[in-house]
């Protein structure tokens, strides 16, 4: 890893020299400080330019370093390439004087690298234990798909508490709202469940991407491990894909109706895709619930080039008659509009708890019909809306058996089982 | 009416004399002040005794006045009899010096009689118009079955506003919380939707029995009548009983599932029965809703010697799998108890919004089964609980066609139609 990174950095300097550009290559991330996990083959090299300089020229250099590359985009464009078995990210950034001056989130990374490198020596193994533990229990990764702990956050926890064991001991009694401020310089209020003030940026919460449920899963895991330490905690559990027969039996035993919306994923990175999938999931659940249906559970996923929204329905069929609540009857104008809009009810109008009520024929007694009719009226996300408009399939109940993809069947296994490691909770 | 009441009062005095009792017969209610409606044949005669004296002796006299009587019970026992075509109530009461000294609610009545009699002369017709209007639109009667306006309240409104037309004008813009205090002496806060401070008792709300919906029905009726006066407003509407065919068609069109609990009414007056029926209705609805079922509408009634609770279900069948929310996972003791109570879930335990969740087989996927299993665990009312324990029948869906009783079918017509007079709302 040292060889590969050294050679890449030399190549950056050569190419910059040829073009008379001032570019400083910086190795960041776990590779820079000896805290990478055995199966990680990620190399993050930043191409630093002075704040006034041209970021596009640095991107050009990155492209030239790895002719076989893929261009990606977070806040800025960057280059991803596979070099000698390593996943290399080449990221242009500004070399600002202090973290407070940063122009983009990536400009902060060199400060993190510097802060951790100078303090972590001798405790790299503690970091590795903690990272692998987090990976094993399913809370490692700050990407939005996971909503877990970043590597930097794991390192800060080791620096703050001292060791793997001490982190577990302390985290076992965390509650939502827990706040850590290693440098005692926090300046902002945060609403996230865990707040770890960034040592290099007093206004930032390093744990901002951590969701409540991933935080609490970690809390439970810490307690469970201390109560009964086991090497198994360090191995991620991945369910086996469901066979047709297993899936059939599951559907029968549950008696629910899965409704699956399956479509071609828009060509964006997961950090862009997943928040939009979550947003669509919420919009659709809200539509179903306010129409009288009931969603037992829902989830989102992507597999191959597909994205999906899954709703497991507890109530998906409603009677022909639907109740519609109107305004308080003393609001004469609202009332008149409401009554004009419902001239031929099945029952009513009558007054209930002060409000006008009518009962009328239900437009969509079946949840999938409602979904098809109302989907494009919902707020679906910038890339997801167009992707769905290009076409989608709805699978109801046993129709999901038609999708044989292993990634999909593994997702379903996790969805229906939904069981945390025995003894973890 | 004058003859009948005079003869009854003379008879009371004779019988009291024979027994050396000091009993003062008092004619109260609308008969005493010329504000009775044509179809009313109610005579209310109170038997007043001094506060120290024996109420039981007065009751004995009441029994002797009308040998063919029925004994009833509100706060005290009283006698009801049919005399020369009149429904006569003979009610023992204490002759307290001021309304504030009363020992029972009935002791207040002579004060009401006195207050209204001395002021209403010349406006009896206005009272009659208002009472008949209230009867026509279905808000007349302060008994708990109706939850409407009492005769005394109607009289106070005429005294306060001046005339029938002025009451309608003013009431058309009432909102919940409207307060009237004719004597300007109110001393207490009240939470009821309409507050009319009793002129003879500053702490009492004369409109305490008026429900929000009956109040607002009156408000709407006042507006509608002023916008389009019609003699029809003065005629109560009573729907025709539903034929088998009409009922079949209605059930089919609505697609809901009526669940009817039918049982022998306990031997208590309606003012005791109806609050208990409402309480049982609420307890049962809450049970159904918290178990995941959905009640579109419910109502209660009595017919012949029967009482009934009717629930029109929007959702009455749920899947085999049920979701059960546990405590927040950081409440370690609660969590341990919850997990111990659900050792073999279908799915889970998992964490959702900070709480432990399991999914397990549902004990009662059908609403009627849940009802049968849990009914006697509910709070059902003092007389209703024992009455239900003596036996009840459950009718679901088309099974309600088995009950042919005209009173029941009329109730059903009102329930399913639930339509207010056209143009009233």
pLDDT band at B323 (very low <50, low <70, confident <90, very high): very high
> Where does A304-420 show beta strands of DSSP type E?
306-315, 321-328, 347-352, 355-361, 393-396
Strand partners, A297: A312
Contact A350 B254 (CB under 8 A): no
Rg, C-alpha atoms of chain A: 26
Residues 297-336 of B with CB under 8 A from A: 297, 314-315, 318-321, 323, 329-330, 332, 335
**CB-based contact A329 B425, cutoff 8 Å:** yes
Listed in sequence order, the DSSP H helices in A100-240 are 109-120, 124-137, 151-161, 164-171, 212-227
Shortest Cα distance from A362 to chain B (angstroms)?
9
Whether the CB-CB separation of A368 and A316 falls below 8 Å is answered with: yes
Q: Does B367 reach chain A within 8 Å, measured CB to CB?
A: no
Mean pLDDT on A293-297: 96
**Average model confidence (pLDDT) across chain B:** 93
Q: Where are the domains of chain B?
A: 2-118, 122-234, 244-318+364-417, 321-361
Angle between helices B164-171 and B151-161 (to 10 degrees): 90
Q: Report how many Cβ contacts below 8 Å link chain A to chain B.
A: 145
Give residue A301's pLDDT: 96
Please tell me which of the candidates B318, B321, B330 has its beta carbon nearest to residue A216.
B330
* Angle between helices B270-290 and B367-374 in degrees, nearest 10: 120
For residue A100, what pLDDT is reported? 73
Residues 6+ apart with CB under 8 A from B160: B180, B182, B196
Non-local (6+) Cβ contacts of A8 within 8 A are A25, A43, A45, A65, A83, A88, A90
Measured in whole angstroms, the distance separating CA A362 from the mean position of its chain's CA atoms is: 37
**Element housing A81 (H / E):** strand A77-83
What's the CATH fold of domain B2-118?
Answer: Beta Polymerase; domain 2 (3.30.460)
Nearest by CB to residue A418, choosing from B213, B332, B348, is B348
More confident residue, B2 or B287: B287
What local confidence, expressed as pLDDT, does residue B332 receive?
86
CB contact under 8 A, B352 and A417: no
According to CATH, the superfamily of the domain at B244-318+364-417 is Poly(A) polymerase predicted RNA binding domain (3.30.70.590)
**ipTM > 0.90 for the complex:** no
Give the minimum alpha-carbon distance from B285 to chain A in angstroms, rounded to a whole number: 15
pLDDT tens digits for range A39-95? 778 899 999 999 888 889 999 999 999 888 888 877 788 999 999 889 999 999 999
Q: B96-145: per-residue pLDDT in tens?
A: 888 778 888 888 888 999 999 999 999 999 999 999 999 999 999 999 99
- Is A425's CB within 8 Å of B350's CB? yes
Do A314 and B323 make contact, defined as CB atoms within 8 angstroms? Answer: yes
Strand partners, A74: none
**A227 interfaces chain B, CB cutoff of 8 Å:** no
Beta-bridge partners for A26: A46
Residue count of chain B, please give it: 425
Q: Which chain B residue has the Cα nearest residue A418? A: B348
Q: CB within 8 A of A227, min separation 6: which ones?
A: none
**B263-284: per-residue pLDDT in tens?**
999 998 898 999 999 999 999 9
The A residues from 144 to 183 touching B (CB cutoff 8 Å) are 173-176
* CA dihedral of A405, A410, A411, A414, whole degrees rounded to 10: 160
Q: Which helix (H) or strand (E) holds B411?
A: helix B406-417
Q: With contacts defined as CB-CB under 8 Å, which chain A residues touch B345? A: 419
> What residue spans of B29-96 are helical by DSSP H?
30-33, 55-65
Question: Taking CB atoms and an 8 Å limit, are B419 and A352 in contact across chains?
Answer: no
End-to-end CA distance of chain A: 38
Q: Which residues of A294-318 are buried (b: 16+ CB within 10 A; e: fewer)?
A: bbbbbbbbbbeebbbbbbbbbbbeb
Beta strands in A145-276 (DSSP E): 178-180, 194-198, 201-205, 257-264
**pTM, 2 dp:** 0.85
**Nearest-CA distance B128 → chain A (Å):** 26
**What pLDDT is recorded for position A53?**
84
Question: Whose CA is closest to A145, among A273, A292, A240?
Answer: A273
Nearest to B329 among A315, A353, A425 (CB): A425
In whole angstroms, give the CA distance from residue B108 to residue B91.
12
pLDDT of residue A423: 67
The verdict on a CB contact (< 8 Å) between A359 and B418 is yes
Residue A35 has pLDDT above 90, yes or no: no
Please report the sign of the dihedral spanned by the C-alpha atoms of residue A352, residue A355, residue A357, residue A363: negative
Pairing status of strand B194-198 against strand B178-180: parallel
Does residue A212 sit at the B interface (CB-CB below 8 Å)?
yes
Measured between beta carbons, which residues in chain A are less than 8 angstroms from residue B253?
A: 320-321, 346
Q: Find chain B residues with C-beta within 8 A of A356's C-beta.
A: 425
Residues of chain A neighbouring B173 (CB-CB closer than 8 A): 330
The pLDDT tens digits for B388-406 are 999 999 999 999 999 999 9
Picking from B296, B30, B43, B319, the residue whose alpha carbon sits closest to that of residue B151 is B30
Residue B36, phi then psi, degrees to nearest 5: -90, 145
Contact flag A213-B294 (C-beta cutoff 8 Å): no
Contact call for A359 and B296, based on CB within 8 A: yes
Please indicate whether, in this complex, the C-beta atoms of B420 and A330 are within 8 angstroms of each other: no
Among left, alpha and beta (phi > 0; psi -120 to 50; other), residue B405 is beta
Contact A350 B419 (CB under 8 A): yes
Residues of chain B with C-beta less than 8 angstroms from the C-beta of A342: none
pLDDT at B41: 80
CA dist B324 → B38, B286, B361, B365 (Å): 59, 17, 10, 14
Facing A219 at nearest CB: one of B314, B330, B349: B330
CATH no. for B122-234: 1.10.1410.30
A66 touches chain B (CB under 8 A): no
pLDDT given at position A421: 65
- Indicate whether A97 pLDDT > 90: no
């Amino acid at each position: 890893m040292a060889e590969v990174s050294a050679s890449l950095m030399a190549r950056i300097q050569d190419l910059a020299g040829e073009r008379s550009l001032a570019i400083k290559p910086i190795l960041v991330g776990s590779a820079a400080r000896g805290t990478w996990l055995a199966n990680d083959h990620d190399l993050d090299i930043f191409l630093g330019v002075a704040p006034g300089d041209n970021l596009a020229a640095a991107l050009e250099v990155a492209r030239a370093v790895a002719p076989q590359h893929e261009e990606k985009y977070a806040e800025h464009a960057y280059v991803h390439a596979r070099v000698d078995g390593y996943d290399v990210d080449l990221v242009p950034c500004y070399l600002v004087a202090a973290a407070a001056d940063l122009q983009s989130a990536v400009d902060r990374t060199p400060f993190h690298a510097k802060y951790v490198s100078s303090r972590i020596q001798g405790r790299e193994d503690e970091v590795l234990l903690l990272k692998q533990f987090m990976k094993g229990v399913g809370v490692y990764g700050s990407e939005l798909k996971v909503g877990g702990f970043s590597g930097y956050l794991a390192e800060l926890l080791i620096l703050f508490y001292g060791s793997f064991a001490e982190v577990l001991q302390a985290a076992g009694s965390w509650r939502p709202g827990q706040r850590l401020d290693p440098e005692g310089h926090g300046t902002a209020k945060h609403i996230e469940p865990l707040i770890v003030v960034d040592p290099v940026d007093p206004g930032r919460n390093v744990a901002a991407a951590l969701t409540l449920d991933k935080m609490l899963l970690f809390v439970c895991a810490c307690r469970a491990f201390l109560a009964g330490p086991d090497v198994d905690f360090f191995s991620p559990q991945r369910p086996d894909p469901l066979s047709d027969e297993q899936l059939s039996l599951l559907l029968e035993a549950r008696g629910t109706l899965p409704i699956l919306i399956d479509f071609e994923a828009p060509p964006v990175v997961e950090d862009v895709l997943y928040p939009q999938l979550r947003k669509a999931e919420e919009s659709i659940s809200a539509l179903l619930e306010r129409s009288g249906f009931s969603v037992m559970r829902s989830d989102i996923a992507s597999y191959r080039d597909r994205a999906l929204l899954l709703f497991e329905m507890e109530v998906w069929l409603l009677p022909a008659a639907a109740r519609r609540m109107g305004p308080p009857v003393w609001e004469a104008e609202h009332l008149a509009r409401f009554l004009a809009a419902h001239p031929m009810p099945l029952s009513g109008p009558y007054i209930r708890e002060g409000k006008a009520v009518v009962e009328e024929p239900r437009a969509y007694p079946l949840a999938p019909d409602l979904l098809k009719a109302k989907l494009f009226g919902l707020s679906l996300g910038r890339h997801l809306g167009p992707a769905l408009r290009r076409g989608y399939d709805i699978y109801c109940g046993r129709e999901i058996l038609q999708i044989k993809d292993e990634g999909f069947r593994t997702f379903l296994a996790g969805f229906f089982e939904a069981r945390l490691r025995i003894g973890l909770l």
